Amino acid sequence: MGGDPIPTYCPLCVSRCGALATVEDGRLLALQPNPDHPTGRALCVKGKAAPDIVEHPGRLLHPLRRTNPKDAADPGWERISWEEALGTIARRLLALKAEHGPEVVAFSSSSPSTSAISDAIDWVLRLVRAFGTPNFSTYMELCGWGRYLAPLYTYGTSVPGVYLPDLDNAGCILFWGYNPSVARLAHATSTAAAVARGAKLIVVDPRKVGLAAKADHWLRVRPGTDAALALALTHVMIENGWYDADFVRDWTNAEDVVEGRTVWSLLTARCAEYPPEVAEDITGVSAADIVAAARTLWESRPVAFYTWSGLEQHSGTTQITRAINVLYALTGSFDVPGGNVLFESVPANRIDGMELVSRDGPATVGLAERPLGPARFGFATGEDVYTAALDGRIKALVGFGGNPVMAHGDSARGRDALRSLDFFVQADLFMTPTAELADIVLPVTTPFESEALKIGFEYSQEAQSLVQLRRPLVPPRGETRSDLRIVFDLATRLGLGEHFWDGDIDAAFRYQLAPSGITLEELRAHPEGVRVPLTTRHRKYVDTGFATPSRKVELYSTTLAAHGYPPLPTYDEPLTSPRSRPDLAERFPLVLSCAKSLFFCETQHRQVASLRKSQRDPQVELHPDTAAVRGISAGDWVSIDTPKGSVRARAKLNANLDPQVVFGQHGWWEACAELDLPGYPPYGPGSANLNLVLSQTPSDPISGSSPLRASVCDVSPLGG
């Protein structure tokens, strides 16, 4: 039956764009932008491909059980019922828990930034915590650390992860290692609007991509040297008095005395090690550009900033984050209109099960090695999960989406680690190199076939005030179930029904919504959502102080100091760069970084013809001169060579790059039958899996973040 377009939103990535769906005879025909929705000004190609994702012939439609050993070429998948699947899973997990303790069972999920697991992730966490294991892995060390957890050591809160850039009111927008034009459409559209009304824009990125073309300052930093740039900018600000002296005096620990000196004098001295000329040599950004950008930061306040992947995947991620967080404190823009602001949110009950965590329970793997890292907050790094799987501390894994063998460096080690588990369950939409290694695979609905409750859309006060219940647009294909349904069904079978409303999802939603005054019935009757009038309160720290040991913004981190880490931000050369590893530099003289593709989410979507047609092959960007001396022309198949091996990609020439810098793409494995385009083996010869030749180590000593974005490499022509 045809009808009016149905208001919904696309949850395929972090942008969560408001949309209108056209549905006919039980089929999803199209998604279009919904300009009435606070994130609905535009949809990207992936959102528009929603019908193709729903109807893709490769979808998993039934629970599957492996019948062959883990190292067999053919897993021997056998279709089983949900009853059998869930019964087996519950039995195995409970047996392992009884014999060895809950910590031998780990859970994992896809990143909520790149999948609709955002619908269910808080419920997955509730299951993890109710089950009693401290081991949950969701790429915190590669994607969230620098936005959410590392800033706790400076601000006691998450800036820019929770204190979001108030783009509508910013005087100056600073995007550092972040390209929303590809990664988060709703931010890109608001930024374009801000620039149109006269806001200044500073983009720090080795590539001139997305909004960099519109920027007042594009700072072409050498990958992984961002801390040196931040310290130099801070130096110029201090030297010229371009900082908010009142905020620094009243709300940072600048005047505290440590090591016999004030923090301010220590910080000033640290920054003075990086005058613009020194930083130019390290970062490749000219001294003049550094001074000019510092001036803009000061003169165009308030400053709103966002950082992301460009900074998350380095051996120095924590110190890079610290350096930028300290710089930002000096602008005095924290929690003022047009700065980074905590928008008020609709009152709701928390459902992530935090209250179920026992204080003296077993520790998350990796805590002993990195006591201030993600493990301190209950997040296990991928590498720590692998190590624990290989040495038997983790014996079972339940994955709600995610494709870790493709998404982490050292893919072959990841495969070996997952193979070594006693029991591995993976819930996914498609069969992947990771799901291939599971004992049981559970088929999941696309978000267009399932219901989800979203309380707030983050971007602005208006967006944060919207509560929307996304209704199923079409019936689930095959026997697929939503992650939410799987969590609730599994929880009841594990004997945890008391924490899950005995499997009643509506009752759970009602509990969640209770403080908001909005009812489930109201939301079902209003698929466009219900708005709660809210007003932002600024400078909340005036009443509460900061949640740090000193109650102030910690330019000097007392917590880092207490653990023997550098308490002031430091610049450390990336640990596997041509400069830090002259022994490798001759053979691998170039620096390899990577970035997301507009057409795909991470390792997904290569099988979808409407997306793959726009990017048929894996690509590597390099400077024309770098290509020429190697006899490489645009479009040639080339080999990306690192100390770990070689993978293939097609050369794309980019004259804006530093000639020493090369950009690859991870995530290439899947074929597209409809276009007759090939897949690539995840391991071994002929692979296009960048993470096969990138290493997880040496990682950030504080967080364990993997150095995926500043590795030595070379590029060579591939004959034939």
Ligand X SMILES: Nc1nc2c(c(=O)[nH]1)N[C@H]1C(S)=C(S)[C@@H](COP(=O)(O)OP(=O)(O)OC[C@H]3O[C@@H](n4cnc5c(=O)[nH]c(N)nc54)[C@H](O)[C@@H]3O)O[C@H]1N2
The binding site for ligand X (CB under 6 A) comprises 13-14, 110-111, 113-117, 139, 142-143, 176-179, 182-184, 204-207, 209, 221, 223-224, 226, 308-311, 400-404, 406-407, 427-430, 432, 444, 447, 483, 593-598, 600-604, 666, 690-691, 694, 708-710
For ligand X, the closer of residues 296 and 309 by Cβ is 309
> Pick from 20, 120, 143, 186: which binds Mo ion (CB under 5 A)?
143
Choice from 7, 8, 12, 687 touching ligand SF4 (CB under 6 A): 12
Return the amino acid letter for 293: A
Instruction: Retrieve residue 171's tokens.
Output: 């005087």
**17 binds ligand SF4, rule: CB under 6 A:** yes
Return the DSSP state at 62.
Answer: S
Choose between 143 and 212: whose C-beta lies nearer to Mo ion. Answer: 143
| Partner whose binding site includes residue 603, from ligand X, ligand SF4, Mo ion, none (CB under 5 to 8 Å by kind) | ligand X
CB 691 within 8 A of CB 408: yes
How far, in Å, CA of 39 to CA of 214, rounded? Answer: 22
Closest approach, Cβ 485 to ligand X, in A, equals 11
> Min. distance of Cβ 324 from ligand X in angstroms?
10
The answer to whether 578 and 591 are in contact (CB under 8 A) is yes
CB of 339 to ligand X, least distance (A): 21
Alpha helices (H) in 450-567, listed in sequence order:
461-464, 483-493, 505-513, 520-525, 541-544, 558-562
For residues 388 to 427, the per-residue mask of contacts with ligand SF4, x marking binding by CB under 6 A and - elsewhere, is: ----------------------------------------
Closest CA relative to residue 452, chosen from 110, 1, 12, 3: 12
Q: Do the Cβ atoms of 14 and 179 come closer than 8 Å?
A: no
Nearer to ligand X, 317 or 557 (CB): 317
CA distance 70 to 65: 12
How many residues does this entry show for the chain?
Answer: 720
Q: For helices 82-100 and 483-493, what crossing angle results, to 10°? A: 60
**Long-range contacts at 72-78 (CB < 8 A, ≥ 24 apart):** 75/436, 77/441
CB of 66 to ligand SF4, least distance (A): 32
User: What is the 8-class DSSP label of residue 460?
Assistant: S
Are 569 and 322 in contact by the 8 Å Cβ rule? The answer is yes
Of the candidate residues 8, 39, 110, 111, the single one contacting Mo ion (CB under 5 A):
111
Report the nearest approach of ligand SF4 to the CB of residue 245 (Å): 41
User: b/e for 183-219, b at 16 or more Cβ within 10 A?
Assistant: bbbbbbbbbbebbeeebbbbbbbbbebbbbeebbbbb
* Closer to ligand X by Cβ: residue 156 or 206: 206
Residue 294 in the binding site for ligand SF4 (CB under 6 A): no
Out of ligand X, ligand SF4, Mo ion, none, which partner does residue 425 contact, by CB within 5 to 8 A per kind? none
The span from the CA of 386 to the CA of 382, in Å, is: 6
Q: Measured from the CB of residue 22, what is the shortest distance to ligand SF4 in angstroms?
A: 15
| Helix or strand run (H / E) with residue 92 | helix 82-100
d(CA 193, CA 179): 16
Beta bridge partners of 33: 19
- Measured distance CA(316)–CA(221) in Å, rounded: 15
User: Binding to Mo ion by residue 601, rule CB under 5 A?
Assistant: no
Question: Residue 695 phi/psi, 5° resolution?
Answer: -110, 150
> Diameter of the chain by CA atoms?
76
**Residue 332 within binding range of ligand SF4, rule CB under 6 A:** no
113 near Mo ion (CB under 5 A):
yes
Among the listed residues 6, 7, 15, 373, the single contact to ligand SF4 using CB under 6 A: 15
Looking at the Cβ atoms of 44 and 530, the one nearer to ligand X is 44
Restricted to residues 20-49, the positions that interact with ligand SF4 (CB under 6 A) are 43-44, 46-47
**16 near ligand SF4, rule: CB under 6 A:** yes
Residues 6+ apart with CB under 8 A from 244: 330, 331, 332, 333
Cβ at position 112, least distance to Mo ion in Å:
9
Which 183-212 positions form the footprint of ligand SF4 (CB under 6 A)? 185
Name the residue number minimizing CB distance to Mo ion: 143
Residue nearer to Mo ion on the CB measure, 113 or 705: 113
Q: Which residues bind ligand SF4 (CB under 6 A)?
A: 10, 12-13, 15-17, 43-44, 46-47, 185
Residues near Mo ion (CB under 5 A): 111, 113, 143
